[in-house]
């Protein structure tokens, strides 16, 4: 039996939690596209597995966080996750609790696009 899109995304969040980058790479299409606001130190547009590594490396250099999933909505080939990112900054262990939304696009069992939206002013305040 094949996984549905929501199961794929739930598996991805489990892999994020344990920093299981092998599973993350397996779930991402080789041409995956990632976007987060360029106002954040790790933000920008990234493409492919190398781009994903660059994105997540930048993210982990600035914050240590966990995504708390509040709601998951499936719509055709997209999965929308609504929740919070909770953790601390790496430059002084400033705690933060920031609302976030992830929009995932899945094709043939692989993630082809991730868009990450957070409360940018609140995140920048924690990072300053």
d(CA 109, CA 100): 24
Cα torsion 31, 32, 35, 40: sign: negative
Mean pLDDT of 34-51: 97
Domain borders along the chain are 5-127
Predicted pLDDT of residue 63 = 94
Predicted pLDDT of residue 21 = 85
pLDDT, one tens digit per residue, over 81-97 is: 999 999 999 987 899 99
Quick one: tokens of 118?
A: 């957070």
pLDDT, one tens digit per residue, over 111-128 is: 999 999 999 999 999 999
Q: Write down the pTM of the prediction.
A: 0.91
Please state which of the four CATH numbers 3.40.50.11540, 3.40.1160.10, 1.10.3720.10, 3.10.450.50 is assigned to the domain occupying 5-127: 3.10.450.50
Residue 1 has pLDDT above 50, yes or no: no
Mean pLDDT, all residues of the chain:
93
d(CA 33, CA 27): 13
Predicted pLDDT of residue 19 = 84
């Amino acid at each position: 039996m094949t996984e549905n899109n929501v199961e794929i995304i739930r598996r991805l969040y489990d892999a994020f939690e344990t920093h299981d980058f092998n599973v993350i790479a397996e779930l991402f299409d080789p041409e995956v596209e990632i976007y987060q606001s360029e106002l954040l130190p790790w933000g920008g547009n990234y493409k492919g597995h190398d781009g994903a590594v660059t994105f997540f490396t930048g993210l982990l250099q600035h914050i240590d966080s966990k995504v708390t999933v509040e709601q998951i909505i499936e719509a055709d080939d997209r999965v929308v996750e609504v929740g919070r990112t909770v953790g601390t900054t790496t430059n002084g262990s400033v705690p933060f609790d920031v609302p976030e939304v992830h929009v995932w696009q899945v094709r043939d069992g692989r993630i082809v696009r991730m868009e990450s939206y957070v409360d940018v002013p609140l995140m920048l305040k924690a990072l300053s």
